[in-house]
Amino acid sequence: MASEFGKVGVLFGGRSAEREVSLMSGRGVLEALRSKGVDAHGFDPAERSIAELAAEKFDRVFIALHGRYGEDGTLQGVLEQLGLPYTGSGVMASSIGMDKVMTKRIWLSHGLPTPRFIVLDSKEATHEDLRKVPDELGLPLMLKAPHEGSTIGISKVIGYSEMQSGFDLCAKYDEVVLAEEFITGRELTVPVLGTGRNARALPIVEIRAPQGNYDYEHKYFSDDTQYLCPAPLDEELTKRIQSLAVRAFNAVGSSGWARVDFMLRAADNEPFLLEINTSPGMTGHSLVPMAAKAAGVSYEDLCVEILRSADLDLKPSQDWKPA
């Protein structure tokens, strides 16, 4: 019943480098919820204030924001203060998931596989520091801005001479740069729905981009990228990767929904965790709706299921009411 949700806010747009993608996601979610009879209203935090958000008297919100100020725990903290249930992970899990370095450290502490890495200070790393990285991680390697998403602030380094330019690109976006071992193989992603013991993995998506270059253009706007869903993997490997996705999801304390990205090493079919997206894209090219469709769940029903999971980390007492 759509009436169970009350007045719903769909938060999209925002101030991050992923604003353009978020606008596409939010419009899709808004249209889907309205098609199901939900009293849904768009709200762009870049154009309207938190005071206006509180004044709207929403009963719950669907977060379709990506990147900083929407996916990193800051907005979640505001919604906790307002007592306004929201979709996706809570404050801490959102903050962890937005930080690729912290995520990898937590996964390692849980015995989960992730590529070897080095963290470099964006302002203090010297040319000599950069030259040492390929000696330890090998070539090629990846350089990433660890607090960005949508392949923003990422560079593949083939030779020593490319370290400085790749580092400079990533340093524009972040205070630290993540240097990561490059895993040669197949790129996979696994959406996860639910929370805790009820978390479940959707079908695996394999991404085959031209020349293996799954950049911003190929991710959201190009029709050249191939998506195979369910990914052509044997049953045992499929279950193993899906299990790893759920374990990775729970290790960082995620809830509601997320998407876990992998590389499957060509040499031995060993999977490696790359990152978790706690507010994944919901555009026409996005992978969570694609996996849901393969599982028999329409885009509209997926949006409703995610909205139904809206919650708070800190539940208000029964006698508390918002002002």
Q: Could you give the residue numbers annotated as active site?
A: 18, 150, 220, 259, 261, 275, 277, 281
**All residues at 6 or more sequence positions from 319 whose CB lies less than 8 Å from its CB, including other chains:** none
Residue among 56, 87, 85 nearest 314 (CA): 85
- Dmax (CA) for the chain in angstroms is 64
Tokens coding 220: 């959201």
CB distance 22 to 70 below 8 Å: yes
Q: What is the phi/psi pair of residue 32, to 5°?
A: -65, -45
CA–CA dist 233, 206 (Å, integer): 9
Q: Around 94, how many Cα atoms within 13 Å sit in the side-chain half-sphere?
A: 28
CA–CA dist 230, 216 (Å, integer): 23
CA–CA dist 85, 82 (Å, integer): 9
Residue among 167, 168, 201, 206 nearest 188 (CA): 206
H helix or E strand, kind and range, residue 89: none
